[in-house]
Amino acid sequence: MAEKKIGNILVTGSVGQIGSELTLALRERYGNDHVLATGRKTKPSEKLLESGPFEFIDVSRKHTIEEVVDKYNINYIVHMAAILSAVGEKNPLLAWDVNMNGLHNVLEVARKREMAGVLIPSSIAVFGPETPRDDTPQETVLKPRTMYGVTKVAGELLSDYYFHRFGLDVRGLRYPGIISSETPPGGGTTDYAVEIFYEAIKNKKYTCFVGEDTRLPMMYMPDCLDATLQLMEADISKLKHHSDFNVTAMSFSAGELAAEIKKHIPEFAVAYEPDFRQAIADSWPMSVDDTVARKEWGWKPKFELAEMTKDMLEKLGQKHKAGQL
Ligand code: SER
């Protein structure tokens, strides 16, 4: 399949945790005017508004995507809009509608216009209780117990279908929990690993919604941005997989994360009060094998627990001092 040049990019979900930073990274790389940021209803940040175009769309209504795609002459879509695992369990029908119909709409709009490609993230949520939890392999059992996971498995399959059946260059990676200091995550199970930093800085105490021994794969935002851009720009002739790359950077338990933060803030106190999200976390891998991503497109993370913790506390500490938290 011949690779087409990426021209104008549409980012859905650009107001979200990953989208907000990915949009800025894409603008730096492809030019501010070539990256259209979109969201459904959340007010975008000044940074997003000032650095390039922004429009409101609803991915579950196809014509709203078509309108902006035609207006801005888009030929590549980075589809970040999704309902995450915890919100998805509170409202499974909404998760199905946004995640499945939204995805199908994006693929159809891209197929009809013969776009250069689409990037659609997947997640560790594709795995389930029957999946091996240590060093979870690339090819393994995909029987998730959350609606979010169900839509991500179906999304991977549908994306690969569009590649094989229609020749649309769709790529995707299974993000682990993403930790960042710019935009808080919204409604996921791995959110505790971000909230804990905000609370450590603001209040020096945190009540964690999963137990101390809960261990999940994680990644710091700079690595998440690198992974996403690297996969987008990888040489297609080297890719044997397309929409389902395992990627990871580190794995730690909630207790180990708290201990690492305590090295910087000794008085930091953590209590554990697991809620419904514990069962979701227990159905996901503790660590992930990402050898295939390393082999096919050279994936290699930079941040481990210690460096990530130091950087998060510095960044949030500065924001706190400036009265921005
Ligand atoms: N961070 C996501 C969630 O917890 C996983 O992809 O739902």
pLDDT reading at 283 higher than 70: yes
Q: Same domain for 238 and 264?
A: no
- Is residue 120 within 8 Å of 243, Cβ to Cβ? yes
At residue 2, the pLDDT reads: 67
- Is residue 62 within 8 Å of 109, Cβ to Cβ? yes
Q: Same domain for 170 and 278?
A: no
| CA dihedral sign, ordered 207, 213, 217, 222 | positive
Q: Same domain for 149 and 11?
A: yes
Q: Mean pLDDT in the chain?
A: 97
The residues with which 38 forms a beta bridge, in sequence order, are: 55
At residue 3, the pLDDT reads: 76
Q: Which domain holds residue 61?
A: 7-177+219-246
Q: Same domain for 73 and 154?
A: yes
Domain harbouring 77, CATH code: 3.40.50.720
At residue 138, the pLDDT reads: 98
With cut-offs at 50, 70 and 90, classify the pLDDT of residue 210. very high
Mean pLDDT of 136-157: 98
Q: Same domain for 81 and 139?
A: yes
> For 252, phi and psi rounded to 5 degrees?
-150, 160
Q: Same domain for 69 and 207?
A: no
Q: Same domain for 183 and 307?
A: yes
Annotated catalytic residue within 72, 148, 192, 220: 148
What is the tens place of the pLDDT at every residue in 27-83?
999 999 999 999 999 999 999 999 999 999 999 999 999 999 999 999 999 999 999
DSSP H helical segments within the chain, as ranges?
17-30, 46-51, 62-71, 85-90, 92-96, 102-112, 147-166, 192-202, 221-233, 254-262, 277-282, 291-297, 305-321
How many Cα atoms sit within 13 Å of 274 on the Cβ side? 13
Q: Same domain for 137 and 206?
A: no
With cut-offs at 50, 70 and 90, classify the pLDDT of residue 4. confident
CA-CA-CA-CA dihedral for 193, 197, 199, 202, to nearest 10? -170
3-state secondary structure of 167: coil
Residue 84 Cβ contacting ligand 1 at under 6 Å: yes
What is the tens place of the pLDDT at every residue in 273-282?
999 999 999 9
How many Cα atoms sit within 13 Å of 196 on the Cβ side? 28
Q: Same domain for 91 and 68?
A: yes
The residues with which 130 forms a beta bridge, in sequence order, are: none
Residue 298 counted as domain residue: no
Residue 17 Cβ contacting ligand 1 at under 6 Å: no
At residue 1, the pLDDT reads: 67
How far apart are the CA of 71 and the centre of ligand 1, in A?
32
How far apart are the CA of 111 and the centre of ligand 1, in A?
28
Residue 24 counted as domain residue: yes
Q: Same domain for 13 and 120?
A: yes
Q: Same domain for 44 and 75?
A: yes
How far apart are the CA of 298 and the centre of ligand 1, in A?
24
148 is an active site residue: yes
Q: Which atom of ligand 1 is nearest to the CA of 190?
A: 4
Q: Total domain count for the chain?
A: 2
What is the tens place of the pLDDT at every residue in 290-311?
999 999 999 999 999 999 999 9
